[in-house]
Structure 1
């Protein structure tokens, strides 16, 4: 027989930090909210020349067409922020007690603090230059206010509070913790009008003590996420200094302050080398960005059509590029270069007094001063899947891309057989329209492909290693065994622009 007494569930305690952000952190209609189109409402045909040129300058900086990757990144960022606030509610006695306990740690060094039982979530985003990592994160952050002023609150036990929902800083170029700490204080001052960066009681602290003090300051101002950009191998190169910065990241997460770390893949690898606990930085997601393939939905159906639609010329271009193949030829799937070729070719056509852009304008712009020889080599390296062209760039993991493209000797035969057996792709015009896959399905398929590829590669590498003489992998032997068809790639090495390569 059941008892007549019923258990009552207490309603959740309102969170002063989260309540003003509810509408901003919603993931509803993200595509529409993220989209930004500078040409909206303009009569393009009747614009004067200077306005057309000004609009071209806004293409790369302000035009934002949300890709599936951008929507997924924004959703993950918002979840990281929300979870941080739900775990840190100043209206709860337990949260206030934890803040007071951490405040008593002021004056202690970073390595002498107790570790709390819980951590905030972290998000990692890695990729080579020009893919739009910073652009996507900053666009997502622009949907959230950076300052919220709170009046008296009995539940939170404050008379006045200035909340900073997000901060964005760049890693110091020398990789020093001191430089990063100063930039954090400066960013906070700019966001909410404080003067921490010039405070005398802070200026004399050692980096180890200042790191603790900054963690307390960020916690007191309810920082929802700290974004640290520009992590690269050259400015996060290890040693005691780099290890201290890694510890600082972990301490912030342990304080309850969510993090987003962004940078070059080599810089993220350097970060990982300090501690296995760096996995916590990716607890909210690990986003690996690569130049888009010519057949990727994000390129063929989202970015390329948007860039062709961004036309400030008096007339529409006669170029028919339904699948983005022409645009891909001049950008190699790199977002920044795709925007650059569209802007520079239109600017060139305007200077010549033309009413529309032709592919001749695109070729002239590509081979002109808007693109350097190194730019063209980088584009060709990804467009033609030629890792030898990528060797000249210290911040690009060309070996990883060689394996990714099936140029490893152990996967060469399988790739060749697969390509030979594959049926010819029918023209896009006769194909049914693509359906937009949900982000969850895309993530599931990508994860499955990565697991299969890694498992196959591991088995193949073990067999290959057992059959090779040790001398084969020394000095230049690594390059010779990693890259298949070396002679053919070298023969194509000079063909780095569309006009000469026929791409």
Structure 2
């Protein structure tokens, strides 16, 4: 039996859709079913509506007992605030997917030729990896790549996952312009680099992600231990073409530095992904990952052909930080609403340094401290509470925060995950003040629209239902569909707890239905006729021989055979 390595089970999954083809604004996108089946190109309003998540904290929540409000505070962990850099990443991702399909139009003759060549190479995989580049050279479809580099906790992974989920993940095609077109299209695939940093394990993660999505067995077929990386890349190329994979997102690439991989080998791997496999790639990592792209400028440029986004922390004086903090500050669940004074702003930034995940964590912990501090009867958050919270409750990250706060580069070297290379700051994201103003205005407007309120209720209700962890047969899509239906059938003024109770009851019923369907049906097998007759004979206190003879099961040889003969 082929032994397989342990692969991470956590795979981001999106929606499955039937293909609906849409008119395209650009001529180069015409007559390409993979592009026409995608959602229309998103504008800023689309990103704003679909991206932001503002947890719901009502007046009733704020009036609850301390132990209840403690639980309510945990909702703030789901807070996502749209920022200018999110719009930049969305635009890059949108063009990356569509332009990647230009050279892989499934109706094009070169695409069909590519499939034919790949099939021939797979037939002789023992030697094919030696000349795959030469065979595919004349139908090469170089795809663009994008790298996103930033300190830990800045929100890179959350942002890219949120943006990916704006697209369906799998699209089923049946007919295109009255022609039979039976294809399964995977729009995006996201995998994490393994902790051991092995390129071989990374390839296996690719196979497993497709298996988890489609119920296939490619990991078992192509990922056993004695497979070399180049051979697995051949099969990745084949699957990428077969399923029309739009973009491959590889997160946590700094893990590759943990292994014994040669840097040249790692760069060649990513270049091959783009050139030979033909998948547009988004590479995400911390500042430590920049070491992968140093020393060989030509290959580094090809491994990130669509450029790099250096995702730095928010500056204290920026409109971006001001907007983020004002929105976050509204999510208080204390007896007294604390004012966001200049002293509080300064103390808060000083302790989180504009890192989003640290800021959200600090805000939650500061409220918890205000709730349970005997010397703080009015539950006020001030500069003193913030500093005390950071010092005691966030003690573990204080050395890192101090290194950032003091710009002590020697100390930063100890914490490479939080260090941004000054040589790359010229590529840093430019803060767009005009865009920032439009986001702020649009955000405030949508907070008061019925459509936003419904979306907000759906988002928060889905999070709370999923967090219960008791619905083993329901996936994210099942819960979202159920919650959307409940919200749609009720008034926007309906109390959230009533909706939650209704959702839990319906989820329990749906979960039970799915469990019943999963249980194997035990077919009732009828007993053999002879055994049935024997049973009847015993019940009638009759000899089985007599009943079998009466029913014609016992033949009379002399009568039936001899005389016929």
TM-score by length of 2: 0.62
Contact 1:13–1:92, Cα closer than 8 Å, also in 2: no
The equivalent of 1:306 in structure 2 is 327
Look up the SS of the partner of 2:414 in the other structure.
coil
Aligned equivalent of 2:55: 38
SS at match of 1:367: helix
SS in 2 for 1:288: strand
Higher helix share: 2
Paired residues of 1:168 and 1:227 also in contact (CA < 8 A):
yes
Query: 1:103: Cα distance to partner?
Result: 3.5
Are 1:59 and 2:76 matched, yes or no?
Answer: yes
Q: Distance in 2 between matches of 1:307 and 1:67?
A: 13
Distance in 2 between residues matched to 1:63 and 1:252, nearest whole Å: 35
Partner of 2:244: 222
Q: Which residue of 43, 59, 76 maps to 2:92?
A: 76
Matched, 1:92 2:108: yes
For residues 35 and 58 of structure 2, what CA distance do their matches in structure 1 show?
35
Cα distance in 2, alignment partners of residues 67 and 110 from structure 1: 47
1:340–1:203 CA distance, 2 compared to 1 (3 A): same
For residue 191 of structure 1, what is the aligned residue in structure 2?
213
Q: Deviations over 1:345-389 (max 9, x none)?
A: 1122233475443333322211113331xx112222223333344
Are 1:299 and 1:333, in contact at CA under 8 Å, matched by a contact in 2? yes
1:120 aligns with 2:143: yes
Residues 1:109 and 2:105 are matched in the alignment: no
SS at 2:190's partner residue?
strand
Once residues 171 and 11 of structure 1 are traced to their aligned partners in structure 2, the CA distance between those partners, rounded to angstroms, is 34
Aligned to 1:22: 39
Distance 2:102 2:372 in 1: 55
Aligned to 1:418: none
Q: Matched residues in 2 for 1:40 and 1:17: separation?
A: 42
Relative to structure 1, the CA distance from residue 396 to residue 326 in structure 2 (aligned partners, 3 Å threshold; closer, same or farther) is closer
Distance of 2:178 and 2:395 partners within structure 1:
58
Matches within 5 A, 1:27-426: 28-39=45-56, 43-47=60-64, 49=66, 52-60=69-77, 62-106=78-122, 107=125, 108-109=128-129, 112-114=132-134, 115=137, 116-153=139-176, 158-159=181-182, 161-199=183-221, 205-232=227-254, 235-236=256-257, 241-254=262-275, 255-273=277-295, 276-300=298-322, 302-321=323-342, 324-352=345-373, 354-372=378-396, 375-397=397-419, 400-401=421-422
Q: 1:313 to 1:68 in 2, by over 3 A?
A: same
Higher Cα Rg, which structure: 2
- Displacement after TM superposition at 1:125 (Å): 0.6
CA distance in 2, matches of 1:117, 1:402: 34
Secondary structure of 1:437's counterpart equals helix
Unaligned runs of 5+ in 2: 1-26, 437-565
Provide the alpha-carbon RMSD of the alignment. 3.3
1:403–1:47 Cα change, 3 Å:
same
Q: CA deviation at 1:81?
A: 0.9
Kept after mapping to 2: 8 A contact 1:378/1:390: yes
C-alpha contact 1:123 1:282 (8 A) present in aligned 2: yes
Answer yes or no: is the 8 Å Cα contact 1:13–1:91 preserved in 2: no
Q: Provide closer, same or farther for how the CA distance between residues 113 and 49 of structure 1 changes in structure 2, counting only shifts above 3 A.
A: farther
How far apart are 1:117 and its partner, in Å?
4.6
